[in-house]
Amino acid sequence: MRHVALRLLDYKDKTGPRWERGQFSPLGNHLFDSTSPILLQVFAGSPPASMGFRGPVSARGGGTMGLPPIPAGTSVRTTRAFPFRAGAGPNRLLAGGGLKVLMLAPSLPFPPHWAAGIRRYEFLKHLSARHDVSLLTYVDAGEAANVTALTELGVAVHTVPARHTSKKSRRLAQLASILSTSSHESRSLFSEAMQRALDRLVDTDAFDIVIVETCHMSRFNVGPDAISVLDEHNIEYELLYRGFLADGGPARRLFNLIESIKVRREERAAWRHAAACLVHSDREREILLRHVPGKPTAVVTNGVHLDEFRPDAEPPDQNAIVFTGAMNYRPNADAVLFFVHQVLPLVLQDKPNARFYAVGVGPSTDLMRLAGPNVVVTGRVPDVRPYLRRASVYVMPIRFGSGTRFKVVEALAVGKAVVSTTLGCEGHDSMRPGVHFLAADDAATFARETVRVLDDHALASELGRAGRELVAREYSWPALLSRVDEFLSAVGPTTVGIG
């Protein structure tokens, strides 16, 4: 669908209005005539008749927005009119906001204690200050206070009760999914209740943009009118295939292989279906564009608020080794097991008082059993920053996964020396081994580099300083979220004024 900028002159007869070139305002990406009380969204082509009225084009588009000429006779339709509020800044058309944006997410992103939740929370907080934003998501019982916290940001939160199953039921569902053509993840997230809720919202609110959180949610039908933007947190099929290569016993590996094949088909279909995509790294953008050339795609990685994540004046605990992350996420659980079983014994040979902290929500029984004199498994904590600041070295023993690791950005922001597998810093193209982190891809090297940082305070300080400077330059949330603004303005509807 091509967007055009046109201004209504008058009604000449019952066949429809006449149009001329839009009057371009300098305020942001929205176009309006300052003397007009009405704004319209205008589309080229032939949308459904229910969307509004149509008429011939009597002049051409163009101007500062660089729009192409519009051939005489092109059919146009308006989707809806907005009253313009005098004195409103760019992107503020209604009391509720400039664009009507819906985020479709698999879980409530509050409190934002994990990478995907933090990203969604930051998106919602930022967009709700500029637009009319809604969230449709699954929720667990007892999350009323968390829903309230999001509504206080100005987000209209719509919820569907999450389905709860036992571990045994989940394993049976995974087994049953092997015989299905659909992936287990998309089957587990799809529900008729969610589709009905989505249908009601789409019918009552004419959303300009629907942000679909991960390809697993793309099975839902968001309607024909809104512009769908797929927010990819990983290349999901790549994550599963890497799990097949590295994770667990034969049964788990076989499941990961079969699931990766299904998700690859579903994920590429989601790329094709979406009007535009957001990814975390240039590497992922290149993968996506190999399969859907020309797809509007922007790179927006995860960041930090520099005033919240900053170095501490207090000296660290000289024995503290820290890793953070959601422990119910397989790559993180595997990283902890690998470090405790294979790396830490080698570290303790040189540093018998070293203590490893595995910090994050959802540790399994197997992980909790690791706790001992040299291992602390915290479970959920209200704030990871005290643990980051305590660390003398932050470790990233990630052996499989995809996307980018948010946790390494947080560690560098507080000025910590980082030892990481190459995969742990994948997608962060500006992070250079030997400058911003020490790379280690086997247990012996990982132990050696960890001990090296514990011994060499000058090295730890230099790595931490370089890491902090990198994050300040490239990973601040305000700068990253400005890319979201630019991208949504580029792919979203154009607004024009009526004379």
pLDDT confidence bin for 458, thresholds 50/70/90:
very high
- Report residue 56 CA to chain centroid gap: 41
Task: Tell me how far apart the alpha carbons of residues 327 and 329 are, in angstroms, rounded to a whole number.
Answer: 5
269-316: per-residue pLDDT in tens?
A: 999 999 999 999 999 999 999 999 999 999 999 999 999 999 988 899
The answer to whether the CB of 493 falls within 8 A of the CB of 132 is no
Mapping DSSP to helix (H, G, I), strand (E, B) and coil, where does residue 293 land?
coil
Task: Tell me how far apart the alpha carbons of residues 22 and 161 are, in angstroms, rounded to a whole number.
Answer: 46
pLDDT confidence bin for 25, thresholds 50/70/90:
very low
Position 61 scores a pLDDT of: 31
For the chain, give the percent of residues with pLDDT over 70.
Answer: 79
- Report residue 177 CA to chain centroid gap: 27
Q: What average pLDDT does this structure show over 485-491?
A: 91
Tell me if the pTM is above 0.85.
Answer: no
The answer to whether the CB of 360 falls within 8 A of the CB of 380 is yes
The answer to whether the CB of 415 falls within 8 A of the CB of 464 is yes
Amino acid in position 298? A
Mapping DSSP to helix (H, G, I), strand (E, B) and coil, where does residue 10 land?
strand
- Is pLDDT at 5 greater than 50 in this prediction? no
393-407: per-residue pLDDT in tens?
A: 999 999 987 767 889
Q: What average pLDDT does this structure show over 39-60?
A: 32
Which DSSP string corresponds to 23-80?
PPPSSTT----TT-SEEEEEEES---GGG--EE---S---STT-PPP--TT--EEEEE
- Is pLDDT at 151 greater than 80 in this prediction? yes
Position 9 scores a pLDDT of: 28
Task: Tell me how far apart the alpha carbons of residues 107 and 140 are, in angstroms, rounded to a whole number.
Answer: 9
Q: What are the structural domains, with CATH classification, of the chain?
A: 6-93 (no CATH), 100-274 (3.40.50), 320-475 (3.40.50.2000)
* More confident: 179 or 426: 426
Q: What average pLDDT does this structure show over 329-353?
A: 96
Q: How large is the angle between the packed helices 457-474 and 406-413, nearest 10 degrees?
A: 110
Task: Tell me how far apart the alpha carbons of residues 261 and 258 are, in angstroms, rounded to a whole number.
Answer: 5
Position 494 scores a pLDDT of: 57
* More confident: 418 or 405: 418
- Is pLDDT at 236 greater than 60 in this prediction? yes
- Is pLDDT at 372 greater than 90 in this prediction? yes
Could you tell me which residues come within 8 angstroms of residue 273 by beta carbon, excluding any fewer than 6 positions away?
218, 228
Mean pLDDT of the chain: 80
Task: Tell me how far apart the alpha carbons of residues 397 and 303 are, in angstroms, rounded to a whole number.
Answer: 21
